[in-house]
Amino acid sequence: MRALMFGWEFPPHILGGLGTASYGLTKGMAAQGDMDITFVIPRPSGDEDTSFLRIIGAGDTPVVWRDVSYDYVRERLAGKMTPELYYQLR
């Protein structure tokens, strides 16, 4: 199973409780076996324990779609947002 998680800290750099909770959750998930865990934080320090998960920086995450066709936006956002508003907000 694959899991993608987001946070703003990960041990050993902890400012509050999220880093500790994230570590416990990911360690527990990894213990279940057959887990591929990716954890995204704003800026990895490089000294995080990556023996059971992959840590990547938010800025290192590739943007797959930069330009999306008008028809695709219209189809996917039908009833929620107009394509014009989508293009204005992005």
- The helix/strand/coil state of 49 is coil
Q: What is the pLDDT of residue 66?
A: 67
Please give the tally of structural domains in the chain.
1
Query: Could you tell me if 37 and 26 are in contact, meaning their C-beta atoms sit under 8 angstroms apart?
Result: yes
Instruction: Determine the structural domain holding residue 34 and report its residue range.
Output: 2-89
Q: What is the pLDDT of residue 45?
A: 92
Per run of 10 residues, the mean pLDDT along the chain (length 90 residues) is: 95 90 96 95 94 94 75 90 88
